[in-house]
Structure 1
Amino acid sequence: MTKANILRRSCWVAVLATVFLSACAVKAPAPEPAAQTAAAKPVHPACQPAAQGEQLAGNWLSKHRQKGVVGELRTLFTLQADGSMAYTEQVKRPNKPSQGLNESGCWVRKGNNLQINTQESNGVVTEPGDPIYENHYNIVSLTARNLVLRDQGGKVYRLTRMSPGYRLPF
Structure 2
Amino acid sequence: MSQLKMHRSVRTLVVLLSAVVAACTVPPAPPEPVAPAVVAPEPTHPACVPATANNPVTGNWLSKHKQKGVAGEIRVLFTLQADGTMAYTEQVKRPNKPSQGLNESGCWQASGDQVLLSTQESNGVVTEPGDPIYQHSYRILKLAGDKLELRTEEGLVYKLTRMSPGYRLPF
State the alpha-carbon separation in 2 of the partners of residues 71 and 28 from structure 1.
Answer: 58
State the alpha-carbon separation in 1 of the partners of residues 58 and 160 from structure 2.
Answer: 13
Structure 2 counterpart of 1:129: 130
Structure 2 counterpart of 1:58: 59
Matched, 1:110 2:111: yes
The alignment partner of 2:50 has SS state of: coil
**Given residue 52 of structure 1, which amino acid in structure 2 is its aligned partner?**
A
Structure 2 counterpart of 1:98: 99
Structure 1: which 5+ residue stretches go unaligned?
none
Shift of 1:143: 1.2
State the alpha-carbon separation in 2 of the partners of residues 157 and 95 from structure 1.
Answer: 26
Structure 2: which 5+ residue stretches go unaligned?
1-12
The alignment partner of 2:54 has SS state of: coil
Shift of 1:3: 6.6
**Given residue 63 of structure 2, which amino acid in structure 1 is its aligned partner?**
S
Matched, 1:148 2:149: yes
Matched, 1:47 2:48: yes
Shift of 1:146: 0.4
Deviations 1:80-139 (CA, angstroms, capped at 9, x unpaired): 001100000001111111110000000001100000000000001111111110000000
State the alpha-carbon separation in 1 of the partners of residues 35 and 102 from structure 2.
Answer: 38
Q: Which runs of 4+ in 1 moved over 2 A?
A: 27-32
Structure 1 counterpart of 2:165: 164
- Across the aligned residues of Structure 1 and Structure 2, the Cα RMSD in angstroms comes to 2.7
State the alpha-carbon separation in 2 of the partners of residues 161 and 63 from structure 1.
Answer: 12
State the alpha-carbon separation in 2 of the partners of residues 3 and 95 from structure 1.
Answer: 89
State the alpha-carbon separation in 1 of the partners of residues 50 and 68 from structure 2.
Answer: 37
The alignment partner of 2:79 has SS state of: strand
- CA gap of 1:31–1:131, structure 2 versus 1, over 3 A, is closer
The alignment partner of 1:132 has SS state of: helix
Shift of 1:144: 1.4
- CA gap of 1:29–1:94, structure 2 versus 1, over 3 A, is farther
State the alpha-carbon separation in 1 of the partners of residues 47 and 145 from structure 2.
Answer: 28
Shift of 1:40: 1.6
Shift of 1:28: 8.7
* Identity rate, percent: 60
Shift of 1:159: 0.4
Structure with the larger helix share: 1
